[in-house]
Amino acid sequence: MYRTAALRAKALKACFNRSFRATRYASSSAVAATSSSSSPGFASWLTGGSSSSLPSLAIPMAAVSLPPSLADNVEPSKLMTTTLPNGLKIASEMSPNPAGSIGLYVDCGSIYETPNFRGVTHLLERMAFK
């Protein structure tokens, strides 16, 4: 059992070395033949080569402008609750982030349904998540 596992591990190691290590050759002619026949591609860094088609990450790109960073002392805003004449409650807060979000909470469910409105909760759920 151990011998079989060791042989399989050895075979996998040999397969890995053969396919991913391009620096181990028996002769220098094999190195010259493989390096001249294939040009480095987009993902040549996977096999140990370098890609000349990608820009260096050490140099910032000229056309990219970064947004100003937020101050460290930003305080969370107060939560404001508003009730509309129809009874709808709206909770809102100011956010310094450039993105916004909306959450909808509805007091509904089968416990709130009367026989006249049976299935309205299911319809609302289907419409809200489409």
Which pLDDT belongs to residue 3? 67
Amino acid at 54: L
pTM: 0.30
Q: Which of 28, 53, 31 is nearest to 40 (CA)?
A: 53
Secondary structure of residue 20 in the 3-state scheme: helix
Which pLDDT belongs to residue 81? 92
Q: Which of 124, 95, 97, 99 is nearest to 110 (CA)?
A: 124
Which pLDDT belongs to residue 36? 47
Mean pLDDT per 10-residue segment, the chain (130 residues): 67 61 49 50 66 73 81 80 89 81 75 82 78
Determine contact, residues 48/22, Cβ cutoff 8 Å: yes
Going from N- to C-terminal start, the domains of the chain cover 2-47, 80-128
Sequence-distant (6+) residues with CB within 8 A of 104 are 128
Q: How far apart are CA 51 and CA 41, in angstroms?
A: 6
DSSP code of residue 35: H
Which pLDDT belongs to residue 16? 60
Which pLDDT belongs to residue 82? 92
Which pLDDT belongs to residue 109? 74
